[in-house]
Amino acid sequence: MKKSLLSLMLFITGLTYCQNSYIETNDGEKIIIKDQDYYYATFKKVRYFISDDSKNWTFQRGIEVTKVKELISGKKVYRIYNIEKKPNFYKIVATSATKTLLLNLYEPHDFNDHNHFYYFIIDNDNKIVEKGEFVDGKFERNMPDQLKAFKDIRTHFADCPDILSNLADYETRKPDRGMAGFTEDFIAGFMFQDNFLKCE
């Protein structure tokens, strides 16, 4: 009896964990997906993985960007926005009453390539009020664009103490990675943290 109860509890725990990451389509379908550190879109498709631990397999799938309503991964939220005259896939980093900070990532082609981040700050009409891009890493040539991102966020979320406090914490964590691979520090760490920051 105890073994059966334990098995049931483990099953429910595993099921709950799996359902923390899913894609909701515009038709209301919910697709359970494998949890990842980040998600991206290429060739107009959102890329994600599905897996079956009992059969020890994992493989990648893609779904058309136009079919996706949102992707939820724990506390991270991704949605489709029509920016610069085309729909694309963005992580929602932070929101206030009037503005939203979005992040777009292009997957590196190989291990020696760098991670290119594109961010947009939009108003409630989805109009761009600020944008920029940066390459994460410790090299001096990459620092001006990373520092500009900090400045842009402080400017447009000046009335959001919780967001600014979170941002300031990451600003003290200088990046130590030189090549490809995500850093959990500095501006890239702020953008890819496992939180959906809200100005309350």
Chain segment 8-25, per-residue pLDDT in tens: 333 333 333 345 899 999
Spatial CA neighbour of 79 closest among 37, 39, 118? 39
pLDDT of residue 63 exceeding 80: yes
Region 76-92 average pLDDT: 89
pLDDT at 96: 97
Domain boundaries, the chain: 1-74, 75-200
Q: Would you tell me which CATH number, out of the four given (2.40.50, 2.60.120, 2.30.30, 1.20.1050), belongs to the domain 1-74? A: 2.30.30
d(CA 159, CA 153): 11
d(CA 60, CA 40): 12
Structure confidence by residue, pLDDT tens digits, 136-170? 777 788 889 999 999 999 999 999 999 999 999 99
Q: Pick the more confident residue, 195 or 100.
A: 100
- In order, the DSSP letters of 135-182 are E-SS-GGGHHHHHHHHHHHHHHTTT-HHHHHHHHHHHTS-----SSS-
